[in-house]
Structure 1
Amino acid sequence: MEGVSDRLWDRTRRRVQEEVVDAALTLFLEQGFEETTVDQVVAAAGISRRSFFRYFGTKEDIVFGDLAEQGPVILAALRERPDDEPIWDALGHALSVLSTRMSPERGIAIGRLVVTSPALRAAHLEKHLRWQQVLAPEVERRVGIGDAPPGLVGEAIVATVLACLDAATAAWLDQGSDDLEELRRLTYVALAAVRQRTTS
Structure 2
Amino acid sequence: MDPQPNAPTLRERTRRAVHAEITSTALRLFVEQGYEATTVDQIAAAAGISRRSFFHYFGSKEDVVMGDLEALGARVRETLEARPATETAWEALRETFIGLQEQATDAATPLQIADMYAEAPSLRARHLEKHLRWQELLAPNIERRLGIEPGATADPRARAVIAAALACLDVAVEAWRQSGGTSDPVDLFDQAVDALRA
Same fold (TM over 0.5): yes
Three-state SS of the structure 2 residue aligned to 1:98 is coil
Please give the alpha-carbon distance, in whole angstroms, between the structure 2 residues aligned to 1:192 and 1:46. 49
Q: Could you say which residue in structure 2 is the equivalent of 1:94?
A: 96
Deviation of 1:89 after TM superposition, in Å, equals 1.4
Q: Could you say which residue in structure 2 is the equivalent of 1:114?
A: 117
Q: Tell me the TM-score normalised to structure 1 length.
A: 0.84
Task: Give the paired residue count.
Answer: 192
Give, as a single letter, the amino acid of the residue that structure 2 aligns with 1:20: I
Spell out the pairing of 1:163-174 with structure 2 (5 A cutoff).
163-174=167-178
- Structure 1 contact 74–97 (Cα < 8 Å) conserved: no
Percent of residue pairs identical: 45
Deviation of 1:27 after TM superposition, in Å, equals 2.0
Deviation of 1:78 after TM superposition, in Å, equals 1.7
Please give the alpha-carbon distance, in whole angstroms, between the structure 1 residues aligned to 2:73 and 2:47. 30
Three-state SS of the structure 2 residue aligned to 1:154 is helix
Deviation of 1:192 after TM superposition, in Å, equals 2.0
Spell out the pairing of 1:4-23 with structure 2 (5 A cutoff).
6-23=8-25
Please give the alpha-carbon distance, in whole angstroms, between the structure 2 residues aligned to 1:16 and 1:178. 33
2:165 pairs with 1:161: yes
Hey, which of these two has a bigger chunk of helix by percent?
1
Q: Tell me the TM-score normalised to structure 2 length.
A: 0.84
- Structure 2 contact 136–154 (Cα < 8 Å) conserved: no
Cα offsets for 1:114-168 (capped at 9, x unmatched): 110111100010011111100011101110348x974311111111111111111
Q: Alpha carbon RMSD of aligned pairs, Å?
A: 2.6
In structure 1, stretches of 5+ residues that fail to align are: none
Please give the alpha-carbon distance, in whole angstroms, between the structure 1 residues aligned to 2:182 and 2:197. 27
In structure 2, stretches of 5+ residues that fail to align are: none
Please give the alpha-carbon distance, in whole angstroms, between the structure 2 residues aligned to 1:35 and 1:4. 41
Please give the alpha-carbon distance, in whole angstroms, between the structure 2 residues aligned to 1:74 and 1:36. 30
Please give the alpha-carbon distance, in whole angstroms, between the structure 2 residues aligned to 1:33 and 1:49. 17
Give, as a single letter, the amino acid of the residue that structure 2 aligns with 1:113: M
Please give the alpha-carbon distance, in whole angstroms, between the structure 2 residues aligned to 1:140 and 1:106. 36
Please give the alpha-carbon distance, in whole angstroms, between the structure 1 residues aligned to 2:174 and 2:46. 29
